[in-house]
Structure 1
Amino acid sequence: MKTIILPAMLLTAPAAAWAQAPADDGSDTPIIVTGAGLPLPPGTPAYGSVVIARERLENSASGRIETVLGDVAGFQQFRRSDSRSANPSAQGATLRALGGNASSRTLVLLDGVPMADPFFGYIPFSALVPDRLSVVRVTRGGGIGAFGAGAVAGSIELASATRDQLPNFAASAFYGSRDATEMSGALTADLGGGYATLSGRWDRGDGFQTTPGDQRTAATVPAAYDGWSTNLRAVASISAHSELQFRATLFRDERTLRFSGADSSSEGQDASIHYIHRGAWQVDALAYIQSRNFSNIVISSSSFRKSLDQRNTPSTGVGGKIELRPPVGEDHVLRLGADTRFATGDMFENAYNAGDPANPLTSLRHAGGDQITTGVFAEDDWTIGNLVLTGGVRADHWSISNGFYQQVTPAGAITRNDRYADRSDWQFSGRAGALYRFSDAVAVRAAGYTGFRLPTLNELYRPFTVFPITTRANAALTPEKLKGAEAGIDLTPLPGLTLSATGFYNRLDDAIANVTIDAVTRERRNVDAIVAKGVELTASGRMGAMLLSASYAYSHSTVKAPGEPFDGLTPNQSPRHAASATLAWEPTHGPALSATLRYVSKQYEDDLQSDVLPDALTLDAVARMPVGHGVTLVARGENLFDETVVTRNAGGSMDLGTPRTLWIGVRFAR
């Protein structure tokens, strides 16, 4: 049997499935993508999605995955900062303007493995290097389906680069504004019927001033950063239809935010093993383990002394999944499976009297707990001529246990010792969709779905302070539950040009929000609901060497909380308008140029809409000049307009996002 290797991104076509391609002798030959997962079921397009190809992942002005994800209008983090200047614990991902509280409402998967921190729920974006990826698929909405719990706002699926996309050796080095450096390298070698690739990246910078000029003090410093990550991925062929995929990632990220001594660090050691069988009975089996940690020092903005040392937050995530696709006929793709996810974590922190020049230790705090979610699912895609019907159901049993919060004096006297009751329940979810192709140029789709997300251990047990606001934890939080529906149309009016429009309605019941109690206090609470409705437009096209991709999202989001002062208001961190457009000149040979324009309308820092984050328009650009022998010179520019991007506004105390940043560097691939 002959094996044909294709880029994984080719499997993003609407009808992608385990395919047959003609061999040289005219016979049907299986197309195998070495290092990829099982092909997408034919009903996938019914839920609408945006695909970011490898070419775009390799050519962004920032070189960071969260910036590339901004190509999909509606993608947002809790704050507008990227992973160089944001506190790591604030880097939750969400879609469709469903509000933010720093935990991810979007399920982010790398080769099927959930990437959210087991304790906080944030995404370690600095460890997700775009050069290591083959393709990204962003599905806004869509329910949880076979993904598992957590996808209440949608899913972001990252796929590792496959062998045909990886040169034997690649390296790059960049120097940027404010003495920033970025270096990366990768080695890939064939091993028997498989391959192994080892990659690493290190970047650092003196950082920019996140504090506006009129708010700076002698203690104010730039947001310096220093981080590295390394990744080993190996693929071993077991038989003509089976392979094992192994991945291990280590990373560490250190940042300084706003004040001298306000240092944070995050680190992780992740590993997974993936078994893929592409025979008559297709199998996708996965097991993974994650070990993470986070530390953070809070500096008082009045005395500039240490007020809190979140010195240690170890957490562990363990999980797995098995999916079977039995042979039920050419018209059906049936998926049966089960998955489980366990998370445990502890918080150790020391509180200090920042008002005393001696800065004495006042208390030691310890909190933590466990969570586990185990589900079973069934989903079927049925192709009837030009019509594809898809539907699935899930049953998940969840539990929250061993929760506690303890506080003691430096002498060891216990001043607080809370133990929280264990809880568990079942959650049933489902989704259904339809896709009808009138012709190669016109397709319509519709879908309805439900989903849920457990509160994170952070939301349940860890209070935090971002001056002047203290946000209290809430051990009584219940799961968020989503109901949603959408309909759309996909057009291909000309070869190489695609246009899509989607209208959606999502309702997130028991949404977890940071609710204002008084001028300096908030608390995490379940509010009745957040209702988001709107329209999403996307376009992509190629004319010769010219490429265009664009995305726009209009989201009208409202909090439903009868009797509360924020009833009827827009949820915090939820812009009404978001847009992105990239225009590129990409000839087969010679220089290349691309520019990306992004716009985000105003949004609010708080639930009462008292603190505004103004709208922002930014321009990025990348220029590449091949010089031969695998060497390419690259110039990159971020925020070329030098737009002032306000990322936090608490009573006028502000943080700013990335100013104009210029890079020059070289890449080598052979």
Structure 2
Amino acid sequence: MKRTALSTAILLATTPVLAETPDADSEAHTLDVVQVTAARVAQTVDETLSSVTVIDREEIERLQPQQFTDLLEGRAGIETSQNSAFGKTTSVYTRGTSSDHTLLLIDGVRMGSATLGGASWQFLPPEEIERVEVVRGPRTSIYGSDAIGGVVQVFTREGRKGPPRVNAFVGGGSFNTWETGVGVAGGTENTNYSFSVSHFETDGINVQDDVGDDDRNGYDNTSLATKVTHRLDNGIEVFGNILYSEGESEFDSTEGRDYTDYIHTAIRAGFRSPITARWETEVSVAHSRDENDRFTDGRFSSRYDTKRDSIDWLNEIELSDHLFLTAGLDAREDRISVDDRFLQLFGPGEFEETSRYNVGGFGLLQAEFGQHLVEGSLRRDANEQFGDNTTGQIAWGMRATDTIRLRASYGTAFKAPTFNDLYHPDTTFPDGFRFRGNPDLQPEESETAEVGARYSVDRTYFDVAIFETRVDNLIAGFDPPENVEEARIRGLEMEMGYQTSLWTSRASLTLLDAEDRETGNELQRRSPATGRFDLDRQFQHLSLGGSVIAKSRSYNDANNDERLSGYGLLNLRASYQIAPEWQIQATVNNVFDKDYETARGYNQPGRAAFVKLRYQQR
């Protein structure tokens, strides 16, 4: 397994996944799909000892998503739920773990709310995304808290060597939806750059039938993304990237106008430098914001803002031809700003603590022994609130044949309590509901074992894994929250893909047994079976395709009293290359106009059609 430098890792992470061979007489083949999230260094998907899914820009444009979760729903090990569509509260469950057990990174920047714990998946703009990497299984021993179920990393668009090339789009469709955007990207011998802006707005649908008014609840998102890298003559590379989104999302609460103003930001800058021929280092600083101002009946009601600053030092060292070390240190500070009129009316109004820091160090050692690969990682976190925590992971892989690779792993992980869990003011509402924090809470902890196999030849692959995760010290309750629950999650996941010059297909299936060990009930909103099938056919300038997404029944509540029915959706799409630089796209979602819910009482869109015109300068 050949190591690549950190600068090469970032470049490879945004290169196209598939390419035709230059020799027309040779068989079509797949360039190695490269990902950097699983081990924080560049590896092909075949090399990694993790279960990984990569979604590149070509696939994003082919699928024509209206929301980021359209890319994830039904993938191996992934399930989502939404409090309705278009900018509404969204949860992502990786391998049956809680939504706040999946870490979201944007170009290496840690995202999420320090009060609620989860990430704002609903505000991610698909048009600004170059690539998505999904790593299933624990990654706390590399990234620290939150990665019990896995990691989803979003990479924004990146420029490549060549003259400036403009791309633009305009589209619209059902629910009075409109979107537009423009960008430019290019590069020189030493500098790559990309800059783009986009805007999405929709009247949406009525979120809830029996709450608030009967009007549609709209959503808008204006986003800006930029990324620059520059290599100096001495080999040092400096880089910077920004993703900034702001907008408004309406919801149902009163007969008046209810909405949330939000800001979602990821900023990172730093440099990479070779120390020796076998040692490369990277230093970066990052800032993220997850800010939400809530207005009910048109009047301000609450503000819950999270700001996070961090600094990272990462080293990639080739100890020998068959022994590689990745090691790093990181430190971050979370700060919250809360202004909630309900807390002021019915409680003391202020959080006892509004900031905390975490310092962590980790090492990942990879060794090759003939056809065998062994990987071990260890991390130590020191947190201002709950003290020290150590996590680790060990994995083994073997090249059984030229086309089959086997893997097995065991790892531990943890999830730090949120500010709400620890410090929420003691508040009793008029209906008698009481919510207060518990500063004595300890992190949720997990153990995961996994075995898997991957078959890969030419443009065909098949990946299968079975796993079991046990989560202890689950935080439950509000008066106050306590470490009381346990969960055991067992699963089987399969993913396959096939591509020729005319056909592109990808399929996935997940079977899950997610149980609350205290009660014997199923974990809420986890379906025992989910699946997805994407198929596209190219006819010269015309492409036709469709996706089938299906999930079995689940329960909306922990007591398993509120049943959510299973459903299957068919989405169809088409695109036509009008000219070398112009393309028109169309999609019809929920073709059979199915009525379904992913969260009790929250409506989902019926049949909907969208059209988009794209321009890409050659």
TM over 0.5: yes
Paired position in structure 1 for 2:401: 439
Looking at structure 2, the residues matched to 399 and 488 of structure 1 have their Cα atoms a distance apart, in angstroms, of 38
Q: Helix, strand or coil for the counterpart of 1:163? A: coil
Matched, 1:449 2:411: yes
Which residue is equivalent to 1:19?
none
What pairs up with 1:465-504 in 2 under 5 angstroms?
Answer: 472-476=435-439, 477-492=441-456, 495-504=458-467
Q: Which amino acid aligns with 2:325?
A: L
| 1:655 match: secondary structure | coil
Which letter maps to 1:383? E
Q: Tell me which residue corresponds to 2:69.
A: 66
1:71-98 deviation digits (Å, cap 9, x = unpaired): 523323453644x1513xxx34330112
* Cα deviation digits, residues 228-256 of structure 1 (max 9, x gap): 11112111112474312201232212111
Paired position in structure 1 for 2:230: 236
Is the partner of 1:206 in helix, strand or coil? Answer: strand
1:189 deviates by 3.9
Q: Map 1:466-615; keep pairs closer than 5 Å.
A: 472-476=435-439, 477-492=441-456, 495-513=458-476, 515=477, 524-561=481-518, 567-586=519-538, 589-615=540-566
SS of equivalent to 2:63: coil
Partner of 2:422: 460
In structure 2, give the amino acid aligned to 1:109.
L
CA deviation after TM superposition for structure 1 residue 658, in Å: 2.5
Aligned counterpart, 1:403: none
User: Per the alignment, do residues 337 and 481 of structure 1 end up closer, same or farther by CA in structure 2, a change over 3 Å counting?
Assistant: same
1:440–1:468: structure 2 CA closer, same or farther, 3 Å change rule?
farther
CA 114–536 in structure 1, closer or farther in 2 if over 3 Å, else same: same
Q: How does 1:208-247 map to 2 (within 5 A)?
A: 208-212=205-209, 215=210, 219-239=213-233, 241-247=235-241
Q: Which consecutive residues of structure 2, in runs of 5 or more, have no partner in the other structure? A: 1-6, 19-31
Q: CA contact under 8 A between 2:192 and 2:228: conserved in structure 1?
A: yes
Deviation at 1:168, TM superposition (A): 1.2
* Residues 6/352 of structure 1: CA separation in 2 closer, same or farther (3 Å cut): closer
Q: Equivalent residue for 2:121?
A: 125
Query: Over residues 200-219 of structure 1, what are the superposed CA-to-partner deviations in whole Å (9 max), with x where a residue is unaligned?
Result: 1111111112234xx377x2
C-alpha change, 1:120 and 1:395, in structure 2 (3 Å) is same
Within the alignment, does 1:203 sit opposite 2:166 as a pair? no
Where does residue 336 of structure 2 map in the other structure?
345
Q: 1:43 to 1:320 in 2, by over 3 A?
A: farther
| Contact 1:471/1:524 (8 A) holds in 2 | no
Q: Say which SS state the counterpart of residue 241 (structure 2) adopts.
A: strand
Q: Residues 33-66 of structure 1, C-alpha deviation per residue, up to 9 Å, x if partnerless?
A: 9x99852389962122122222112233433322
User: Partners of 2:535 and 2:428 in 1: how far apart?
Assistant: 42
Pairing 1:40–2:54 present? no
> Aligned in 2, Cα 1:206/1:11: closer, same or farther, shift over 3 Å?
closer
* Cα distance in structure 1, aligned partners of 2:244 and 2:404: 45
Q: 1:85–1:257: 8 Å Cα contact kept in structure 2? A: no
Task: Letter of the 2:88 partner, please give it.
Answer: A
Match of 1:184 in 2: 181
- TM-score, reference length from structure 2: 0.87
- Counterpart residue identity of residue 506, structure 1: T
SS of the equivalent of 1:56 reads: helix
Greater alpha carbon shift after TM alignment, 249-258 vs 175-184? 249-258
Give secondary structure in 1 for the equivalent of 2:70: helix
Does structure 1 residue 641 correspond to structure 2 residue 587? Answer: no
Q: Is the 8 A contact 2:167 2:184 kept in 1?
A: yes
User: Matched residues, percent identical?
Assistant: 18
Q: TM-score, normalised by structure 1?
A: 0.80
Instruction: Kindly indicate whether the alpha-carbon contact (under 8 Å) linking 1:431 and 1:450 is maintained by their aligned counterparts in 2.
Output: yes
| Cα RMSD for the two superposed structures | 3.2
Which secondary structure state, in structure 2, belongs to the residue aligned with residue 152 of structure 1?
coil
Give the Å deviation of 1:120: 3.0
- State the match for 2:350 in structure 1: 366
User: What are the equivalent positions in structure 2 for 1:79-228 lying under 5 Å apart?
Assistant: 79=82, 81-82=84-85, 84-87=86-89, 91-100=90-99, 104-164=100-160, 168-190=165-187, 193-212=190-209, 215=210, 219-228=213-222
Distance 1:364 1:645, change over 3 A: farther
What amino acid is the match of 1:570? Answer: E
1:55 and 2:46 matched: no
Q: What is the CA distance between 1:551 and its match in structure 2?
A: 0.9
Residues matched between the structures, number:
585
The aligned amino acid for 2:60 is L
- The residue matched to 1:58 in structure 2 has which SS? helix
Structure 1 residues 143-152 or 178-187, which shifts more?
143-152
Measure, in 2, the Cα distance between the counterparts of 1:485 and 1:327: 28
The answer to whether the 8 A contact 1:8-1:162 is kept is no
Question: Structure 1: how far apart are the matches of 2:252 and 2:429?
Answer: 11
Once the two structures are TM-superposed, the CA of residue 351 in structure 1 deviates from its matched residue by: 3.2
* Segment drifting more, 438-447 vs 187-196: 187-196
